[in-house]
Amino acid sequence: MAIYQYTSTMIFGRNTNKELNELLEVLLKINSKEEMQDFLEGIFTPKELLEIPNRLQIIKMLKSGVSQHEVADKLKVGIATVTRGSKELQKGRFKNV
């Protein structure tokens, strides 16, 4: 979490930890798939709604052993996007995926 806080501070020029915690609390209160879809459609742009599920596919493909270059080719994303996912996996993230 410390890396995220540092990164968000660098990007936004302020500590967004309070705002992140607020978002997490809101997400945890959502009780159904329909409510979650409604929330996500309200908060994200259509482009973001396409990109986020694509990132999940990146993680799933990497976890199943698909090479980074093959993931990038199949999903038509940049290798840097796939590498970022790979680095997060190496940190031990996405255990529930």
Residues 67 and 88 in one domain: yes
Residues 24 and 54 in one domain: no
Residues 49-91: tens digit of each pLDDT: 999 999 999 999 999 999 999 999 999 999 999 999 999 999 9
What's the alpha-carbon Rg for the chain, to the nearest Å? 15
Residue 12 covered by a domain: yes
Residue 9, SS3 per DSSP: helix
Residue 44, SS3 per DSSP: coil
Residues 27/35, Cβ–Cβ less than 8 Å: no
Q: Give me the domain span that covers residue 26.
A: 1-31
Residues 49 and 87 in one domain: yes
Q: What is the pTM of this model?
A: 0.73
For the segment 36-42, the average pLDDT, to the nearest whole number, is 96
Residues 25 and 64 in one domain: no
